[in-house]
């Protein structure tokens, strides 16, 4: 690559990405009905101790994710914890412009040495896959409790016939078990790709997956589970702050279904906010009439867990040299 191309990528890509990110963020907020009403609800509760704990958990959340990424990328090269944090935050910024956050690796690998970036993609996918697997498993638990052990007749899926609800639950469990099987047998994935001639050049970049022991994969999965509990706890606290009068354990069950739903529903980062708010209201409206409180809690979660890290990540990318000049 010639010097002019390197200069263009290093000094124009970051600002260009930041402008795209800022534009998409502005569009989501400006097109959101009752945004200022929800924001007013949030701002009126800033001094609540539960709100303060939810904010503190933001740092816990991203420190856990950074440590998980550090464990993964150390399989390739030395990586400081500070680099891992920057890498994760940059990944947050990129995800807002990609469908279902699949582009997270695009921001993370920018902090990895050029020679290792393709291998780092597979490592990032392992981390994301472990988080998705936890989301699916916990969603199955939530569906099971809500549809078979609810102490009253209302059900999150009450609008569906019983047979369809049973089929949905069965398919969710089956898909989750398939995820678990392939997660702890990553060598199977490598073996399948090795047998596909058109993916022959990819194999050398994913063989590192063969080196992961079950103990290491369980450690990554455990960190994903702890992070998931942090997500749930934040949401429960904010629902209580916004005066959504539901028992904590019941909110937990509803939120497991909510997170499973938004992880499955096709979405693009730049239109994620309305999808989140709609999904939250559909799931909670059978048990609460406080639409403003549910919307305010969902908006707050989106801001502190998605927007703020993404803004920081996009600012970090402004001064990041993607290609090192020789």
pLDDT at residue number 203: 76
Tens digit of pLDDT for each residue in 66-106?
999 999 998 888 888 998 998 898 888 877 777 666 667 77
**Segment 109-116 mean pLDDT:** 82
What percent of the chain is predicted at pLDDT more than 90?
24
Asked if pLDDT for residue 237 goes beyond 90, the answer is yes
Look up tokens 């001639």; give the residue: 197
Q: Mind giving me the DSSP string for 91-151?
A: HHHHHTTSBTTTTHHHHHGGGS-GGGHHHHHHHHHHHHHHHHHHHHHHHHHHHHHHHHS-S
Neighbours of 47 (CB within 10 A): 7
Neighbours of 60 (CB within 10 A): 15
326, two tokens: 């020789």
Tens digit of pLDDT for each residue in 199-218?
767 777 788 888 888 899 99
Tens digit of pLDDT for each residue in 269-289?
556 777 888 888 888 887 888
More confident residue, 288 or 56: 56
pLDDT at residue number 81: 92
Biggest CA-to-CA distance, the chain: 69
pLDDT at residue number 230: 96
Burial class (CB in 10 A: 0-12, 13-18, 19+), 135: buried
pLDDT at residue number 28: 64
pLDDT at residue number 62: 92
Q: 159: pLDDT confidence band, cut at 50, 70 and 90?
A: low
pLDDT at residue number 29: 63
Nearest to 87 by CA among 129, 115, 134, 123: 123
**Segment 250-264 mean pLDDT:** 90
Cβ-based neighbours of 128, under 8 Å, separated by 6 or more: 101, 104, 105
Neighbours of 96 (CB within 10 A): 25
Q: 326: pLDDT confidence band, cut at 50, 70 and 90?
A: very low
**Which of the 8 DSSP states describes residue 11?**
H
Q: Mind giving me the DSSP string for 25-92?
A: HHHHHHTSTTHHHHHHHHHTTTT-HHHHHHHHHHHHHHHHHHHHHHHHHTTTS---HHHHHHHHHHHH
pLDDT at residue number 152: 45
The domain limits of the chain are 3-318
pLDDT at residue number 153: 45
Q: 135: pLDDT confidence band, cut at 50, 70 and 90?
A: very high
pLDDT at residue number 155: 53
Query: What is the pTM assigned to this prediction?
Result: 0.84
Check if the beta carbon of residue 50 is closer than 8 Å to that of residue 244. Answer: no
């Amino acid at each position: 690559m010639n010097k002019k191309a390197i200069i263009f990528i290093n000094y124009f890509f970051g600002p260009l990405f930041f402008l795209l990110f800022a534009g998409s963020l502005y569009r989501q907020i400006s097109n959101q009905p009752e945004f200022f009403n929800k924001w007013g609800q949030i701002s009126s509760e800033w001094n609540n101790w539960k709100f303060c704990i939810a904010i503190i958990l933001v740092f816990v959340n991203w420190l856990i994710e950074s440590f998980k990424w550090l464990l993964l990328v150390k399989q390739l090269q030395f990586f400081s914890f500070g680099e891992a944090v920057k890498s994760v935050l940059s990944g947050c910024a990129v995800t807002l412009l990609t469908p279902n956050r699949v582009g997270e690796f695009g921001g993370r690998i920018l902090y990895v040495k050029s020679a290792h970036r393709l291998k780092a993609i597979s490592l990032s996918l392992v981390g994301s896959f472990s988080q998705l697997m936890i989301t699916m498993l916990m969603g199955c638990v939530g569906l099971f409790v809500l549809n078979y052990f609810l102490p009253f007749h209302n059900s999150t899926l009450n609008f569906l016939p019983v047979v369809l609800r049973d089929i949905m639950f069965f398919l969710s469990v089956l898909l989750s078990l398939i995820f678990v099987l392939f997660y702890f047998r990553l060598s199977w994935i490598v073996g399948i790709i090795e047998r596909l001639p058109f993916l022959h050049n990819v194999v050398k970049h994913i063989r590192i997956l063969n080196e992961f022991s079950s103990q290491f994969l369980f450690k990554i999965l455990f960190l994903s589970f702890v992070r998931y509990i942090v997500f749930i706890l934040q949401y429960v606290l904010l629902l209580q702050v916004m005066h959504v009068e539901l028992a904590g354990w019941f909110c937990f069950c509803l939120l497991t279904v909510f997170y499973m739903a938004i992880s499955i529903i096709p979405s693009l980062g730049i239109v994620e906010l309305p999808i989140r708010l709609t999904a939250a209201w559909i799931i909670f409206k059978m048990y609460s009439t406080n639409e403003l409180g549910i919307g305010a809690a969902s908006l707050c979660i989106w801001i502190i867990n998605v927007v703020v890290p993404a803004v920081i990540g996009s600012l970090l990318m402004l001064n990041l040299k993607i290609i090192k000049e020789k």
